[in-house]
Structure 1
């Protein structure tokens, strides 16, 4: 990461995230000990978080717990995952038709996060699972999302991404990848041909919201031996149709401007 981080905000985030690991009230001493910070530093940050509603103090034992402001923010965040609710029946229908595993992902902080995965009758033992993050440069879903970013944003994301070679087929050259993304954008779908896992092939298409922003992607994955050219020709339009159907349900109306 090239951006400069603000230490006080990092420490505030560390304090809040302690409550994820320790499902209980915590004292200033507890937090100070667990984070290796001075009590005076912790006290100052906690009082600010309490003032803004992110923490609440138990007046009996003076310990702290998460505040209602986080509940409000959590409710707002949950609206993002309406995408999962909207997409679920479409994914189910796609799995029934294709008889292979289908994924739904969202894009966050330069990575994709799997929010839905429905296995076909011949389930795959692959890297994906709900809640797991995956790279954008060598997954079908990641490339489908990346290809529909603005040109400057693509450059920024790739400059901050470690183009790690997961297999011998992973593209690790930035210019080559950018050219590949232009091709993906023109054709409207992406293919991962053993780029993140040997023997695995998938086809993916982007999902857009009512602002015409790409917000996620859907993919179908199968062993390469089962996804030959005939199957691929069958799967591509089905995946694109499913992605378009989800996008329309999210309020998407027109095609995005090409690069």
Structure 2
């Protein structure tokens, strides 16, 4: 790569990695670029809106042109097409039926899935929908809601029971969502269908918003600690890959839907 082009890439990566901006002197020291040469490059990047220099402290942050480019990139993304090989990998690793779920209003909607080789299994139904609070995928998405949005959901949607295990108490649901947000893994313990257990992890976009979830569904008779661990690890790796492909840079760093920890079965 041409030296000046390489320096531009290094500048953008370094500025993008900071949360509070960075000064000319700090960039010069970090990248070992002479201040004179650096100032010219920074001026060009600011002129083209790739960087912005804040007036109050003269520190550099990423500019609005990145939002324009990211928006174009995300508009052209097809989450199902991108997720296909990842869903397949998770299915192979777990030998359980795996689905990609997205939010559709107040429901979780299955948009893609692959069935496992097990004779006893939950077959994936593309287009299947269910209330968010009754499903592992739905709860993974609900756990990402800001407080105001969650309250709107809870006041708008009756928490109807689909099975005796469905959570219908809003306080219990909020408590579970808080745990999901911390652990990064959600469960549906026969809450949607008796005899079926599901685990899910959220898929995050560029803005660290949960835009979907990868879901594993299996008969409760196969849900043992060893299987739970295998599924958890496969889900975590799957959503990490898919979230990164969707532009999320914080997945796995504890800044969203927390670090994935062990959670005992209920």
With the shorter chain as reference, the TM-score category is: 0.5 to 0.7
Query: What is the distance in 2 between the residues matched to 1:155 and 1:80?
Result: 32
Q: Which residue of structure 1 aligns with residue 140 of structure 2?
A: 144
Pairing 1:100–2:96 present: yes
Counterpart mapping for 1:1-259 below 5 A = 82-122=78-118, 126=122, 129-255=125-251, 256-257=255-256
1:107-150: CA deviation from partner (whole Å, max 9, x where unpaired):
12111111001100126664851112111001000000000111
Residues 100 and 213 of structure 2 are in contact (CA less than 8 Å); yes or no, is this contact kept in structure 1? yes
TM-score normalised to structure 1 length: 0.66
Q: Which runs of 4+ in 1 moved over 6 A?
A: none
Query: What is the distance in 2 between the residues matched to 1:122 and 1:149?
Result: 35
Deviation at residue 105 of structure 1 after TM alignment = 0.8
Q: Which residue of structure 2 aligns with residue 8 of structure 1?
A: none
5+ long unaligned stretches in structure 2: 1-71, 259-266
Is the alpha carbon distance of 1:145 and 1:163 closer, same or farther for their aligned partners in structure 2, counting shifts above 3 Å?
Answer: same
Residues 184 and 257 of structure 2 are in contact (CA less than 8 Å); yes or no, is this contact kept in structure 1? no
1:71-114: CA deviation from partner (whole Å, max 9, x where unpaired):
xxxxx9x9587111111001111111111100101112111111
Query: What is the distance in 1 between the residues matched to 2:194 and 2:78?
Result: 33
Query: What is the distance in 1 between the residues matched to 2:83 and 2:202?
Result: 13
Deviates more, 1:181-190 or 1:157-166: 157-166
C-alpha RMSD of the superposition: 2.2
TM-score normalised to structure 2 length: 0.64
User: SS where residue 225 of structure 1 aligns?
Assistant: helix
Query: What is the distance in 1 between the residues matched to 2:238 and 2:123?
Result: 23
User: SS where residue 112 of structure 2 aligns?
Assistant: strand
Is the alpha carbon distance of 1:226 and 1:80 closer, same or farther for their aligned partners in structure 2, counting shifts above 3 Å?
Answer: farther
5+ long unaligned stretches in structure 1: 1-75
Is the alpha carbon distance of 1:151 and 1:207 closer, same or farther for their aligned partners in structure 2, counting shifts above 3 Å?
Answer: same
Q: How many residues align?
A: 183
